[in-house]
């Protein structure tokens, strides 16, 4: 059986008294697109640095396809990495940089790279010093997507991209998945994670608070229901899964957890004119996790 793309065991990084990453146990299967969500300072970049062997863990270990992450020379043959702040060699052109990055990695699919350059509308003739933040990010992304590396580690890769390019990014991630490769994507952008990931890990103050599939994550929150009615208000007292009932003239709101059957049966007794159900966004779910607290 193929080892997981990423495995960590009790992975911990302390800076003085601060646990930047605290006891992380995580497994990302080969072929998965895994999202790593957390507010600023939660420890996402620290975890990525440990996976890449750019920092040494205070305790615990990490493996990339079964290879100890500390064995950088071997592990990096399987990794393409896009950092949060892309810095490029200012005097080299985009084309020269793609060549250089391609030569140091585990091999490049050149035809696919050319296609990506066109799709991301990159002008490769310019020196990197003339690139905007978004263009630097695009160069690094194209280089990573076009490698044959089985694992792509992307640290907030779309912060500088406009919506059109964001769409290309999502397409490229889907293509990576279709080719059987693995993506580990740290992000603040919930819509992006929702669009491209199979599972998501949620990090808060250095600790992994949950790992969930997208449907599981959405189920953590309730559905908000708005009912408009004629005649007497529906009676939802004591109905399973119903909470926070508010009647406001001919409208009634409540929140619903679990299956909707009991609430629907109770509503059927009234003269309901419209029924609106709203799924919470991932943003709202996310806020539920973090509430008011910062790190
Ligand atoms: N070299 C360092 N020395 C001291 N503290 C550090 C160091 N690197 C990170 N930290 C602290 O560790 C915590 C985790 O930081 P990290 O950069 O991993 O968070 P993050 O989730 O990537 O945040 P962001 O989304 O802002 O990039 C923060 O409190 C940060 O200040």
Q: What is the pLDDT of residue 16?
A: 94
User: What tens digit of pLDDT does each residue of 80-97 get?
Assistant: 999 988 888 888 999 998
| CA of 47 relative to ligand 1 center, distance in Å | 10
Using the CB atoms, write b or e for 80-112: b if 16+ within 10 Å: bbbbeebebeeeebbeebbeebbeebeebeeeb
Domain match, 177 and 272 both: no
Kindly tell me if the per-residue pLDDT of 291 is higher than 90.
no
Domain match, 149 and 69 both: yes
Asked, for residue 122, whether it belongs to a domain, the answer is yes
Band (pLDDT 50/70/90 cuts) for residue 294 is very low
Domain match, 185 and 263 both: no
Q: What is the pLDDT of residue 102?
A: 81
Asked, for residue 288, whether it belongs to a domain, the answer is no
Domain match, 33 and 117 both: yes
User: What tens digit of pLDDT does each residue of 141-172 get?
Assistant: 999 999 989 999 999 998 888 888 999 999 99
Rg, the chain, Cα only: 23
| CA of 20 relative to ligand 1 center, distance in Å | 6
Q: What are phi and psi of 115, to 5 degrees?
A: -65, -40
Mean pLDDT (whole number) for 63-71: 97
Residue that is written with structure tokens 């799709």 in the block: 119
CATH number at residue 23: 3.40.50.300
Question: What secondary structure letter does DSSP report for 100?
Answer: H
Pocket test for ligand 1, best of 21, 39, 41 (most atoms within 8 A of CB): 41
CB contact set of 203 (below 8 Å; sequence gap of 6+): 36, 37, 38, 42, 43, 44, 47, 209
Domain stop point among 196, 218, 240:
218
| CA of 42 relative to ligand 1 center, distance in Å | 7
Domain match, 173 and 95 both: yes
Kindly tell me if the per-residue pLDDT of 222 is higher than 80.
no
Average of per-residue pLDDT values in the chain: 90
Domain match, 203 and 230 both: no
Domain that holds residue 275: 222-279
Residue that is written with structure tokens 């080299």 in the block: 92
ipTM: 0.95
Domain match, 154 and 15 both: yes
Domain match, 122 and 71 both: yes
């Amino acid at each position: 059986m193929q080892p997981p793309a990423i495995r960590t065991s009790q992975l911990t990084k302390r800076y003085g008294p601060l646990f930047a990453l605290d006891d992380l146990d995580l497994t990302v299967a080969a072929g998965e697109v895994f999202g790593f969500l957390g507010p600023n300072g939660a420890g996402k970049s620290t975890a990525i640095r440990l996976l890449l062997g750019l920092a040494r863990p205070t305790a615990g270990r990490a493996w990339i396809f079964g290879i100890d992450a500390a064995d950088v020379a071997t592990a990096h043959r399987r990794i393409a990495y896009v950092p949060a702040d892309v810095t490029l060699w200012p005097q080299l052109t985009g084309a020269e940089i793609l060549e250089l990055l391609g030569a140091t990695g585990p091999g490049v699919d050149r035809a696919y790279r050319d296609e990506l350059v066109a799709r991301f509308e990159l002008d490769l003739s310019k020196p990197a010093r003339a690139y905007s933040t978004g263009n630097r990010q695009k160069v690094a992304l194209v280089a990573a997507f076009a490698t044959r590396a089985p694992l792509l580690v992307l640290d907030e890769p779309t912060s500088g991209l406009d919506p059109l390019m964001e769409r290309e990014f999502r397409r490229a991630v889907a293509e990576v998945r279709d080719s059987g490769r693995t993506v580990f994507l740290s992000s603040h952008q919930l819509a992006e994670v929702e669009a491209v990931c199979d599972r998501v890990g949620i990090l808060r103050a250095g600790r992994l608070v949950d790992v969930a599939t997208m449907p599981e994550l959405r189920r953590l929150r309730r559905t908000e229901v708005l009912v408009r009615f004629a005649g007497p208000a529906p009676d939802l007292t004591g109905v399973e899964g119903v909470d926070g009932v508010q009647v406001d003239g001919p409208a009634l709101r409540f929140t619903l957890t679990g299956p909707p059957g009991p609430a629907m049966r109770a509503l059927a007794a009234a003269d309901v004119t419209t029924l609106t159900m709203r799924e919470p966004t991932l943003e709202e779910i996310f806020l539920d996790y973090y509430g008011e607290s910062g790190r």
